Every structure is written in C-alpha cells, then in structure tokens.
Structure 1
Amino acid sequence: MLTGKHLVFVGGDRRQLEVIAQITDNDASATLIGFSDLGRTFADTTFAEPSDAIFAQADALVLPVAGMDDDGRVETSFAPHPVELKESHFQAMRPGTFVFTGIAHRALTEWCDRYSLRLVKLMELDEVAILNSIPTAEGAIAIAMQETDITLHGAKTVVLGFGRCGQTLAHKLHAMGAVVHVCASDPRDLARIHERSLVPVSLRHIEHAVHDADIVFNTIPAMVLPAAVLKRMRRDAVIIDIASKPGGTDFRYAERRGIKAILTPSLPGLVAPRTAGRIIAASITRMLADDEEAEFEEEELWI
C-alpha cells in the first residue's frame, strides 16, 4: 500500500491512466498535470498546472514512457498542448524524490543529478521491459497479419536483434509455425537462438537472412537496414520496425524501392495500454513500498 504518498503525474497516453488508477487504488493521492481534457476522475486526485509548489510536495514524479524532451516538453494525449516543465520544478523537489520515466534524455538526466533526485528509467528494468515485450510482440504480429496476404505459418520471418523484445517475438512467431531466422552479433545469443530451434544468423551477414524474407521485424535501434541491404530484399517483403525512433530502417529508400516498411514504436501503448500501464504501476508501487520499508527499518535502528 502507498498510504500517505503523493505522486505528481505529468502527461502521457492511455498507459498513464492505468498507472494512475492502480496507484490511487493503493491509497496514494495524486496531482495530474496535462490532463485537462481527460473527462474522468480518480479517487483523491486533483488537476493542476505545473508550479514549484506542486513539485515540492511530491514523493514521486511520474513522467510518460517517452519522458521529457530536452526543451522540457512532455507530450500528453489529454490536453491540447504539451506540458512545459522548467528546471525550477525539479529544483523544488526534495532530494531523494523518485522521478519515474520510460526513457531519459539529457536534460532530465542532468536535472535529476543536479538536484539529487532518484531517476528511474523504467524501460531499462528487466521486470518492466521483459513483461512489456509481450504486448510489443503481440502488436507487431497483429500488424504483420494485417499488412500481408499470407499466413505466418510457414512464412520466412527474420527478427533483427535478440534482446528482450527480440526473444519474445521470435518465440511467439515460432509457436505460430513461422520459419524464424534471428540476427544477432553476440556468439552467446547465436548459441541460444540455435538452442531454441531457431535459425541463427550473424548480424554481419544480415543481407543473407533478409534477401528472401516475407517479413522482417527489427528491434535494433540502429541503422541495420540501410539502402545497400534493402536493395537485396524482395519488393513484396514487409518490414515492421519496432525499435525506438527513428528506427533502424532507411524508410526513404524502402519507399523508393516499393518495400512496405512500417515504424511502430510504443506498441504496448497502442495495442494493450491497460496491460502496459499495470506493468509500470506494479514496479512503481514496489519501489515506493520498498523505500518506505527501508526508511522504517532505518528509523528502528536509531530507536
């Protein structure tokens, strides 16, 4: 339970609504910034505009998965304009206050470090990222089924990368009967790919894997599908790039060649926002509760 805790939520999408619902259900109170067009209420919450006084009262600040831009802007689906945060808002928070975000750009990292705030990048935590890979994989597969006129069963699919999302995606494609090639650079990953009855391909030989592929799924946030590789692919192939923006595909050349290439970051927020929100809320709740318990134990030592 989070009784007595006060959280400030700034912006976000439908995932953030589920986080708010779960947090307040655990008896915390909340201030919502950037939710003027929300059209619903939660227990023990207030709507506000950003001010130093509001941030000074926070036990934790919760930013969206996309975080805050380096100009202080936070995107929101529930207000006509983005929220503009200032350095003074972070300066107003008590040292040690949690700042939760999906990813952190330079300004957010610098401000949290400058004012001794505990920055938590949720998408770098295994407990979040592994579970988050499930809706990501399901969403990518759903798009593949929509954008092709063949079954996944028997299709030659290529997964680029064998991280959290790549592993889950490859596993689910294999379970559906697809022929799954996985490109990775680490020899340990290539061995694990083989152990899972998938086809391992060194990333150095990516062109050999994709030249006759029906569907290519990219999970690597780097340019792994440049024009030189795309030129060797079939024109009727489909690329689904789920890496963070700008993805790992030369989309300009893909369009020129007539290859359908789709950039689909933040799939959990689109296809399963309730599930994705619950995953985030569970981690935030755990960390705040663990911190409360640690403080209590420390107080007992001094009694």
Structure 2
Amino acid sequence: MLTGMHIAVIGGDARQLEVIRKLLELDAKISLIGFDQLDHGFTGASKEQIDEVDFSDINAMILPVPGTNGEGQVETIFSNEKVILTEEIIAKTPEDCVIFSGISNSYLDSIVSKNNRKLVKLFERDDVAIYNSIPTVEGTIMMVIQHTDITIHNSKVVVLGLGRVGMSVARTFSALGAKVKVGARKSEHIARITEMGLEPFHLDDLSEIVSDADVCINTIPHLIVTASVISKMPAHTLIVDLASKPGGTDFRYAEKRGIKALLAPGLPGIVAPKTAGQIVANVLSQILLEHHKREEK
C-alpha cells in the first residue's frame, strides 16, 4: 500500500483518471492540479491550484505522457487553468521526490537535473512500450481500414523497424492475412523477421520494396520514408507513421505526390484511453510501491 505517500497528479488526459483511481486504491493521498473541471469525484483526492500545493510535502509528482512543453506548460484537458511547472516548484519538493512523465524534453530534463531529482520516463521502459504496442496495433488497423478501399487480407504491407511496436504490428497484420515485408538494419532483426515467417529486407533496399506496397507502416523515429522512397510508391499507397513527432516521413512530398500519409503517434491514448491509462497506472504503482518500501526501511 501507499499509505502515507502524498502524490501530486499534474494535468493530463483521460489516461490520468486510471492512474488516479489506482493510486487511491493503494491509499495514497492525492493532490489533483489541473482537474477543476473534472466531474468525476475521487474520494481521497483534493483538487488544488498549483500555487496552493505545499510541494515540500510531495513524495511523487506525476505529469501527463507528454510531460511539459518547451516553456514548462503542462497539458490540462480537464481545466482552463494554465499550469506551468517551474524550477522553483521542483526545488520545493523533498530530495527523494520522484517525478514521472511519459517522455521528456530539454526543459523538463533541465529543471529536474538542476535540482538533483529523479525523473522516470515511463515510455522509455520496455514493459510500458510492449503493453502499449497492443492498442497501437489496434489503432493502426482501424486507420488502415478507414483509409483504404481494400481488405487487409491479401494486401501488401511494408513495416519499417522491428522494435517493440514494429514487431507487434508485423505479427498482427500477418495474422490478418496481409503479405508482410519488414525492413531492418541489424542482422539479428533480419533473423528474427525470418523466424517469424515474414519476409525481411534491408532498409537500404526500401525504394525497391515499396514499388507495389498497399500500406507502408513506419515505426522508426528519424527520416526514413524520404521523397525518393515516396516517388517509387504506387499512387494508392497509404503511409501510416507511428514514430514520435515529427515522424519519419517526408509529409510535404507525400502531399505533393497525392499520397495519403498519416502521422499517428500516441494511438493508445486516442483509441483506448482506459486501457492505456491502466498500463501506465500498473507500472507506475509498482515503481511507487518499491520506492515506498525502500523509504520505510
């Protein structure tokens, strides 16, 4: 249990509701910042303005998946209040306060490191990424069905990257009857693609591979679907880019060529916010329980 632990949940979307619910089940004391328009009443959680919170009493701080923007503003779906996380706020927290975010940026990294606090980036963890690949794949299937006029069955699908998401995408589209080719650079990934019964290719050969592709799904977070690659695609090819912003596709050239290209990061929070929230909540609570046990010793 997290009895005696005071946690500030700052901003976020519907996923955070699952996090709040889980932490309250574990008997944590919760301060909600950026939730003043939330209709749901959570017994044991108090809605507060950021300048009302006594941060010297906070054991953990939970930010939304994106963390902050470059100026420290935190996304608040359930409030019109402008919430800014500053270096001064972090400085007020106890030395052992842990800050959680999905991802980070130079601003958040800077204000946390200047105060020598611990920042946990949940989306860099293998377990979170693998669990999240499930709603990501479902969202990708939904997009492909919506934006093509053919069945997935028997379609030619090119998947770029065999990371945690790429592997799930390739396996699932193959299970739906697509003819899947998977591009990678590492020899061990080429071996794994072969073992999965799929057709591997080296990313250097991408331009030739896409010449008959119905769908191209990218999971690699740097420019890989270039203008020269797009120029070799049939006019009907659909590009779905799952990499974090700005993606790995030359969207300007795709539009110029009339090829539909969709940037779709963050699909779990869009297609299955409850499940995505439970994934974050379960991993987060496990980390907090371990942290709480260490503090009690």
Question: Which TM-score applies when normalising by structure 1?
Answer: 0.95
Structure 2 contact 86–111 (Cα < 8 Å) conserved: no
Find the aligned partners of 2:106 and 2:188 in 1 and give their Cα distance.
32
Alignment of 1:139-150 (within 5 A): 139-150=139-150
CA contact (8 A) 1:7 1:61 kept: yes
Q: How far apart are the structure 2 equivalents of 1:106 and 1:54?
A: 26
Q: Matched residues in 1 for 2:136 and 2:284: separation?
A: 20
**Alpha-carbon spacing, 1:82–1:144, altered in 2? closer, same or farther (3 Å):** farther
1:273, distance to aligned residue in structure 2 (A): 0.7
Question: Paired residue for 1:278?
Answer: 278
Aligned to 2:294: 294
Counting aligned pairs with the same residue, the percent is 44
Match of 2:206 in 1: 206
| Distance change >3 Å, CA 192–CA 82, structure 1 → 2 | farther
Residue 100 of structure 1 aligns with an amino acid whose one-letter code is F
Residues 174-183 or 75-84, more deviating: 75-84
TM-score between both structures, scaled by the size of structure 2: 0.97
- CA separation in 2, counterparts of 1:81 and 1:207? 48
CA distance in 2, matches of 1:56, 1:235: 59
- Alpha-carbon distance, 1:101 to partner: 0.4
Alignment of 1:222-261 (within 5 A): 222-261=222-261
Match of 1:60 in 2: 60
Alpha-carbon distance, 1:36 to partner:
2.0
- Alpha-carbon distance, 1:54 to partner: 2.9
Query: In the alignment, what sits opposite 1:96?
Result: 96
Question: For 1:133, what is the secondary structure of its paired residue?
Answer: helix
1:27 maps to a residue whose letter is D
Once the two structures are superposed, residues 209-254 of structure 1 have per-residue CA deviations (whole angstroms, 9 ceiling, x without a partner) of 2121001111111111111111111111101111111111111111
Aligned to 1:154: 154
Distance in 2, Cα, partners of 1:131 & 1:206: 28
- For residues 52 and 193 of structure 1, the distance between their equivalents in structure 2, rounded to whole angstroms, comes to 54
For 2:238 and 2:82, how far apart are their aligned partners in 1?
34
Counterpart contact for 2:23–2:285, Cα < 8 Å: yes
* Residue 181 of structure 1, CA deviation: 0.7
**Contact kept in structure 2, 1:145 and 1:152, CA below 8 Å:** yes
Where has structure 1 moved over 4 Å in runs of 4 or more?
none
TM-superposed CA distance for 1:51, in Å, is: 2.7
Q: Measure, in 1, the Cα distance between the counterparts of 2:295 and 2:81.
A: 39
For 1:20 and 1:292, how far apart are their aligned partners in 2? 17
Paired residues of 1:165 and 1:219 also in contact (CA < 8 A)? yes
* Contact 2:33–2:48 (CA under 8 A) maintained in structure 1: yes
SS of equivalent to 1:51: helix
Q: What is the alpha-carbon distance in structure 2 between the residues aligned to residue 82 and residue 15 of structure 1?
A: 20
Show the counterpart of 1:136: 136
Q: Do 1:10 and 1:33's aligned partners in 2 also have CA atoms closer than 8 Å?
A: yes
Distance 1:183 1:212 in 2: 15
**Structure 1 unaligned runs (5+)?**
none
Cα offset for 1:52? 7.7
Give, as a single letter, the amino acid of the residue that structure 2 aligns with 1:239. Answer: I
Q: How many residues align?
A: 297
Secondary structure at the residue paired with 2:281? helix
User: In structure 1, how many angstroms separate the alpha carbons of the residues matched to 2:215 and 2:58?
Assistant: 46
Map 1:47-196 → 2, pairs under 5 A: 47-51=47-51, 53-80=53-80, 82-196=82-196
SS at match of 2:221: coil
Q: Distance in 2 between matches of 1:82 and 1:274?
A: 25
Distance in 2 (CA, whole Å) between partners of 1:81 and 1:49 is: 8
Contact 1:52 1:89 in 2 (8 A): no
- Structure 2 residue runs of 5 or longer lacking an equivalent are none
Q: Give the match for residue 45 of structure 2.
A: 45
Q: Match for residue 36 of structure 1?
A: 36
The CA RMSD measured in Å over matched residues stands at 1.3
AA of the residue aligned to 2:86: K
Change in Cα spacing, 1:81 to 1:162, as seen in structure 2 (3 Å) is farther
Counterpart in 1 of 2:7?
A: 7
Q: Which moved more, 1:121-130 or 1:39-48?
A: 39-48
Q: Is 1:53–1:92's contact at 8 Å kept on the other side of the alignment?
A: no
CA–CA distance in structure 1, aligned partners of residues 82 and 208 of structure 2: 44
Cα deviations by residue, 1:142-179 (Å, 9 ceiling, x for unpaired): 11111111111111001111111001111111111111
